[in-house]
Amino acid sequence: MAYCVHCGVKLGESENQCPLCHTPALDPHAPPDPAAPRAYPVRTPEQELKRSKKLLLFLCILLFLVPSALCLIIDWLTGGGLSWSIYPCGALVMFFICTIVPIYLPRHKGYAFLAISFITLSAYLLMVEWISQSGRWFFPIVFPSLLLAFIIIALMTLFYRLGRLNKLTVLAAFFAAVGMECMAVELFCRLAASLPLTFQWAIFVAAPCIFLSLSLFYINSNRAIREELVRRLHY
Amino acid sequence: MAKGKRWYRLDNAAKLYPAVATSRWSSIFRLSAELTEDIRPDLLQKAVDKVMPRFPAFKVRMRKGFFWYYLEEIKEPLQVVPDSGHPCMPFRYHENHGYLIRVFYYRKRISAEFFHSLTDGSGGLTFIKTLTAEYLRLCGHQVSFDQGALDIREKPTPEETRDAFMHMPLPKVRIPRKEGRAYHFPATPAIPHTLYTIAASIPADQIVEKAREYGATVTEYLVSIILYTAFLDQEKRRPGRKKPLRVSVPVNMRSFYPSATLRNFSSFINPCIDPRLGDYSFKEIIREVHAFMRYHLNPRLLCGAIATNVADEKNPVCRAAPLFIKNLIIGTVFRRSGERGFTSTLSNLGKAHVPTGGEKWIRRFEMQLGSPSLPLCNCAAVTTGNELRLLFSSNILETTLPREMLRFLVEEGIPVEVESNMEGS
Ligand SMILES: [Zn+2]
């Protein structure tokens, strides 16, 4: 029989913390028994989201089916066949996958989601290349750029989950990633066009990005500056 | 309507609830009886099967008419189920034969949940008392059907299923019921379909004694503590833009117009203080609340408020509107006013007498209000024997109201014991 040291209320036998202030129940002579039956059944997390997920699924299907059908019909009626409607429909499929899949994936399956998004995005762009007959640009340029971008995102996720990144360093890493990605894209473009491998436009994007990134990393490592910034900029 | 099935019109108060119910929220409350031994589900099921015919007004499903909803008799039996950690989940009209009542068991507790269209707290208490008495009889104990429990060997009377609002003297006036917004405790909403329960046991004699020291009743005392807690919270967190503090207190109309009805027959009064007018001490608050309650708890004013509602219902234009338009209007009005005007709700059922012979087997009765429609914390109190059981229901993560309220009681020298359905860390 413990009392909350904070509130002064007597705690029921099955309470291992004060329900009012969440202070752990402290009674050195009678530690709370975790197996003791609860006074009231405790919430089970599986039950709670089932309904709202169903509604969401319904809404997403509606959002997906109605515009797709409209596009197909308009395309068919105006052109007598299917031409441009493939693009919006493909985009909708992608949107559908990117919104629905994360809801149904169990928590902490971020990498699976990244992989799925990567595959669908690649498939969509490949399809665009194939249908539009606009030359070969997917494999030489888009695919490696996209792959690099996803690898960077995956790495950042990993570091964030490992607790190596805070708000400031996430921002720093983001700028560094943008800079690197730009440089990579220019390289891939030049490779595809058989041009000499130098940087022209990418350097103008990358330089400020990398400068920003480095300053952020520096601020992060310097406690005095960090505190000064927090003091001046807190809101 | 299928042939041969009885049906009921919704009473005046009941008409609001289906119109504002959604899949996320509807107005529900729960009454429980805690016994001294573990519940036997088979006997409880038998007891439910025997008790339900005595309560024809609860054996109904919600049906849509063209102009109004109505309640239609259900022939199928009601199943008892083990209690879940999700009290007062919205009813779905197509599930469970459409029953608007559920019966649960958990360890030593029998609980019944009611959709508010069926009945109010008083009708619910009658049901849970009758069910508990019958259950204990099936367990082989000598318990009689008295002290508010209905004798299930008798036939239901028409008086029990009638709309008592229509049988009271209603004045032909409309009382304006404009009430602005009230202060709400700053809150973080919990995940939908979560209802946190904090139960506090308080010795009834001590709290009555304390309330008497202030010259007030227990309800007035508890309302004053809520107002005082909210007052201090607002002073601390929102000193800049203050709002009035208002507590909604359901009133059992049966105490003014004796009626055997098991359907809705209650009204509300809303004691209020306005900190924009100046500071309050606890003594000042309790004096004001006491005066407010004395003044407003009179049949004339209560009838006036009901007459206004009935006049809306009887309004020819409103009556002629199809159901979906009514729902739209009622829903809009409810969302714009509704619980925004209240800091909290305190429903005090008062003393629940235990059926004779059950004293040894029944530890307590308790009432829990369902999830509020806004992020709020509401409370309900029932006194059994010398124990006042106060149950807080909230859909928010913060525990400001119960914490400050119970700490206040402890500081006043009244011992409090708490239990909850919250997971330990
Ligand atoms: Zn505490």
Q: How far apart are CA B244 and CA B342, in angstroms?
A: 9
The mean pLDDT of A187-209, rounded to a whole number, is 87
CA neighbours closer than 13 Å in the CB half-sphere of residue B67? 11
In this structure, of A23-32, B206-215, B362-371, B375-384, the range with the lowest mean pLDDT score is A23-32
For an interface test with B, which of A3, A4, A5, A9 has the most B Cβ atoms less than 10 Å from its Cβ?
Answer: A9
What DSSP designation does A140 have? I
Query: ipTM of the predicted structure?
Result: 0.86
Q: Are B75 and B6 in contact (CB under 8 A)?
A: no
Instruction: Give percent above pLDDT 90 in chain B.
Output: 68
Q: Where are the domains of chain B?
A: 7-158, 196-420
Q: Does A14 touch chain B (CB under 8 A)?
A: yes
Cβ distance B425 to A38 less than 8 Å, yes or no, reads no
Cβ distance A8 to B411 less than 8 Å, yes or no, reads yes
For residue range B46-55, list pLDDT tens digits in order: 999 999 999 9
Q: How far apart are CA B190 and CA B89, in angstroms?
A: 14
Cβ distance B86 to A16 less than 8 Å, yes or no, reads no
**Which secondary-structure segment (H or E) carries B8?**
strand B7-9
Q: How far apart are CA B309 and CA B267, in angstroms?
A: 10
Closest CA to B285 of B247, B251, B339, B240: B247
Per-residue pLDDT at B258: 92
- Whether residues A79 and A128 fall in one domain: yes
Q: Which of residues 189-218 of B touch A (CB under 8 A)?
A: 191-194, 197-200
Q: How far apart are CA A177 and CA A219, in angstroms?
A: 18
Kindly report the nearest CA distance between residue B43 and chain A, in angstroms: 21
Give B259's contacts (C-beta < 8 A, 6+ positions apart): B159, B164, B167, B253, B265
What DSSP designation does B4 have? T
Q: Of A9, A34, A55, which is closest to B416 when you measure between CB atoms?
A: A9
Q: How far apart are CA A20 and CA B94, in angstroms?
A: 38
Q: How far apart are CA A5 and CA A23, in angstroms?
A: 8
Q: What is the dihedral of CA B208, B213, B214, B218, to 10 degrees?
A: 0
Does the pLDDT value for residue A37 go beyond 90? no
Mind giving me the DSSP string for B288-313?
HHHHHHHHH-SHHHHHHHHHHHHHHH
Q: Of A12, A16, A44, which is closest to B418 when you measure between CB atoms?
A: A12
Q: Does A10 touch chain B (CB under 8 A)?
A: yes
Residues in A closer than 8 angstroms to B38, CB to CB, are: none
Kindly calculate the radius of gyration of chain B based on its CA atoms and give it in whole angstroms: 21
The DSSP bridge pattern shows strands B344-351 and B245-252 to be parallel
- Whether residues A66 and A38 fall in one domain: no
Q: What is the dihedral of CA B369, B370, B372, B375, to 10 degrees?
A: 100
Q: Are B248 and B340 in contact (CB under 8 A)?
A: no
What CATH number matches the domain at B196-420, 3.30.559.30, 3.80.10.10, 3.30.465.10, 3.40.50.720? 3.30.559.30
Q: What is the dihedral of CA A51, B92, B317, B300, to 10 degrees?
A: -110
Q: Which parts of B122-210 are beta strand (E)? A: 196-203
Q: Cα-flanking dihedrals φ and ψ of residue B245, to 5°?
A: -115, 130
Of A89-93, A163-167, B235-239, B376-380, highest mean pLDDT: B376-380
Closest CA to B383 of B367, B361, B360, B405: B367
Per-residue pLDDT at B56: 93
Other beta carbons less than 10 A from residue B149's beta carbon: 25
Task: List the structure tokens of A60.
Answer: 């997403």
The CA-atom distances, in angstroms, between B91 and each of B96, B100, B120 are 9, 6, 16
For residue range B61-99, list pLDDT tens digits in order: 998 888 888 888 999 999 999 998 889 988 888 888 999
Task: List the structure tokens of B48.
Answer: 């439910």
Does the pLDDT value for residue B289 go beyond 70? yes
Q: Cα-flanking dihedrals φ and ψ of residue A128, to 5°?
A: -60, -45
Three-state secondary-structure class, residue B202: strand
- Whether residues A31 and A84 fall in one domain: no
- What's the pTM? 0.73
How many structural domains are present in chain A? 3
Q: Which residue has the tokens 């309507």?
A: B1
In this structure, of A24-28, A208-212, B27-31, B288-292, the range with the lowest mean pLDDT score is A24-28
Task: List the structure tokens of A63.
Answer: 């959002």
Q: Does B402 touch chain A (CB under 8 A)?
A: yes
Per-residue pLDDT at B74: 93
Other beta carbons less than 10 A from residue B400's beta carbon: 18
**Looking at domain B7-158, which CATH architecture does it have?**
2-Layer Sandwich (3.30)
Instruction: Give percent above pLDDT 70 in chain A.
Output: 89
For residue range B309-328, list pLDDT tens digits in order: 888 888 888 888 888 888 88
Does the pLDDT value for residue B149 go beyond 80? yes
Per-residue pLDDT at B2: 45
Cβ distance A48 to B191 less than 8 Å, yes or no, reads yes
Is residue A146 domain-resident? no
Give B421's contacts (C-beta < 8 A, 6+ positions apart): A38, A39, A40, A41, A42, A43, B85, B87, B196, B197
Q: What is the dihedral of CA B223, B309, B301, B219, to 10 degrees?
A: -20
The runs of H, that is alpha helices, within B256-297 are 282-296
What DSSP designation does B348 have? E
Domain B7-158 matches domain B196-420 at the CATH topology level: yes
Q: Are B336 and B18 in contact (CB under 8 A)?
A: no
Residues in B closer than 8 angstroms to A42, CB to CB, are: 85, 421-423
Q: Are B50 and B149 in contact (CB under 8 A)?
A: no
Is residue A154 domain-resident? no
The residue ranking higher by pLDDT, B100 or A58, is B100
Q: Are B76 and B38 in contact (CB under 8 A)?
A: no
- 3-state SS, chain A, equals CCECCCCCCEECCCCCECCCCCCECCCCCCCCCCCCCCCCCCCCHHHHCHHHHHHHHHHHHHHHHHHHHHHHHHHHHHHCCCCCCHHHHHHHHHHHHHHHHHHHCCCCCHHHHHHHHHHHHHHHHHHHHHHHCCCCCHHHHHHHHHHHHHHHHHHHHHHHHCCCCCHHHHHHHHHHHHHHHHHHHHHHHHHHCCCCCCCCCHHHHHHHHHHHHHHHHHHHHCHHHHHHHHHHHCC
Three-state secondary-structure class, residue B409: helix
Give A58's contacts (C-beta < 8 A, 6+ positions apart): none
For residue range A121-137, list pLDDT tens digits in order: 888 888 888 888 877 88
Is residue A215 domain-resident? yes
Q: Of A10, A32, A39, which is closest to B416 when you measure between CB atoms?
A: A10
Distance from residue B248's CA to the centre of ligand 1 (Å): 27
Cβ distance B86 to A21 less than 8 Å, yes or no, reads no
For residue range A44-81, list pLDDT tens digits in order: 765 544 555 667 777 777 777 888 888 888 888 887 77
Q: Of A9, A40, A41, which is closest to B417 when you measure between CB atoms?
A: A9
Per-residue pLDDT at A47: 52
Cβ distance A43 to B417 less than 8 Å, yes or no, reads no
The mean pLDDT of B276-305, rounded to a whole number, is 93
Residue B99 backbone class (left: φ over 0; alpha: ψ -120 to 50; beta: rest): beta
The CA-atom distances, in angstroms, between B46 and each of B137, B322, B342, B361 are 11, 41, 41, 18
Task: List the structure tokens of A138.
Answer: 């997917």
Q: Are A210 and A183 in contact (CB under 8 A)?
A: no
The runs of H, that is alpha helices, within B28-120 are 41-51
Q: Are B224 and B343 in contact (CB under 8 A)?
A: no
Q: Which domain holds residue A64?
A: 52-135
Greatest C-alpha distance within chain B = 63
Vertex B124: Cα angle to B247 and B142 (nearest 5): 135
